[in-house]
Chains A and B, each alone.
With several copies, the nearest count.
Chain A
């Protein structure tokens, strides 16, 4: 598997076919298990552009048209399978969640830069909100050693997704599972107890912004997996920019994982969540 200088796993050129081999429901989420014989094993935090190979479109407002970006949830080392965690929030995810076993996908990936290893042996705190837990699951698989997953969800139905990570601590807005409240409250507790840690976070912009501010305040290194509206996923359209201390960067090629220190804010406009 080819790793480029900047640590990204490069993608085969062009959209290729992948088949849905299984579809599993986890509460509010759908897990698509796909066979990708032609692709490399991705790095945690990288993403793929997905679309149904047949009849992609015809949904609400006659969409979708463009492919959609999805983090890798899991990529078993010894197989050619890729798992994606999908939440139905609009016409594209609705169609993907409705795909049956055997359905063909057109995929491009892995794309972007994934997570970097914890600096000088720090413990990895994995902070996930909602569907943002996806890249953290693969990161937990790849880090192997001890990681502390802190996962926040709207309600019990969404909290079902927590089972996708090992030994998570859970928070739900409505208290239906784990701590009643925000996942950032769990993070505060951990930061009070541990010092030699690095934070890896993915979730809705408000959560990521809270994590960023918290880590900045306590001088804790953090890597944030952001979202923004994407058309191409490989740097062609200049549409996915986010503001950094160094100006706009294209999230699809310079991210989606960005060092929190480079972000004035994690509140990305139009990310859609």
Chain B
């Protein structure tokens, strides 16, 4: 595939990982140098980093769904200091550009997180997670255009690096949130994050997940993701990173046809660590569905 330009970053192909679904450091321990030699993604997006370290939610954190997965991981991470000290140096050695995904529980926290990475040459771009359904504020902030606009107006001036806003699907009007982000200077938007769900213990009837509710991902959400990517792509001019249930190059081609510039692979990597490379190859091979014609797009409006 010919290299592509994403916000000034050159990528070998349009397939990247979805934040929180691939830990390159742990994978290196499991698979050794072969991971680097055959790195499956054109860019690496790290798991959400928060200001303070987080243990994450109590176990159990996983529940399998029909053609999908529900998780309540709860954003465990070493916190900003731990990330800078331990993870960043290792991730900087990856053969692909690094995108750091951050989340703050207040605009002040996000400000400190963005500032900390603003001058880091190891970091190609920042992704703002305003959408994690496992954390109260994520849900609220990402569902409200004004909240997102206020956040960006504060952090946009702090860095020249591309800012990607990761949107939540648990909102009445996702395109409105995307437009607010674009208006306030976001360079791209990414969607969909997981959809809020729940499971009960088969025997006790109490909530199964330690976090009570969880986020649904995988093929079960693919059609929902495609609809949201489509409507957001029509609402904004900035690039869109599409994700949600991609398990084959065909699905990536569909998201691209719906307006996505890049496609992220998440849950499918759990079935095959090298899924990203396979999907990129399938995408290259696929006769891609043409981008939707003007007429099709008009038929969507009003």
Instruction: Enumerate chain A interface residues (CB-CB to B < 8 A).
Output: 2, 4, 6, 8, 10-15, 51, 57, 61-67, 106, 108, 111, 228-243, 247-248, 250, 253, 268-270
Contacts and interface: CB of A to CB of B under 8 A. Distances in A.
B170 interface: no
B27 A234 contact: yes
B26 A236 contact: yes
Interface residues of B, number: 45
B291 interface: no
B170 to A, nearest CB: 21
A217 B225 CA distance: 48
A243 to B, nearest CB: 8
A240 B30 CA distance: 15
Contacts of B259: none
A267 to B, nearest CB: 11
Nearest to B47: A238
28 contacts: A10-B29, A12-B31, A12-B34, A13-B274, A14-B272, A14-B273, A14-B277, A15-B273, A62-B66, A64-B64, A65-B65, A67-B270, A229-B62, A231-B71, A231-B267, A232-B269, A234-B31, A235-B26, A235-B27, A237-B21, A237-B270, A239-B62, A240-B61, A253-B30, A269-B59, A269-B60, A270-B59, A270-B208
Contacts of B242: none
A66 B27 CA distance: 18
A14 B38 contact: yes
The 5 closest A-B pairs by CB, nearest first: A235-B26, A270-B60, A14-B274, A62-B66, A15-B272
B175 interface: no
Contacts of A61: 66, 219, 248
Contacts of A240: 61-62
Given A65-B66, A234-B273, A239-B62, 19 more contacts: A4-B32, A13-B35, A13-B274, A14-B273, A14-B277, A15-B274, A61-B219, A106-B272, A111-B30, A228-B60, A236-B23, A236-B26, A238-B20, A238-B73, A239-B73, A240-B61, A247-B55, A248-B55, A250-B26
Nearest to B270: A232
Contacts of B26: 234-236, 250, 253
A253 B66 CA distance: 26
Interface in B202-238: 208, 210, 218-219
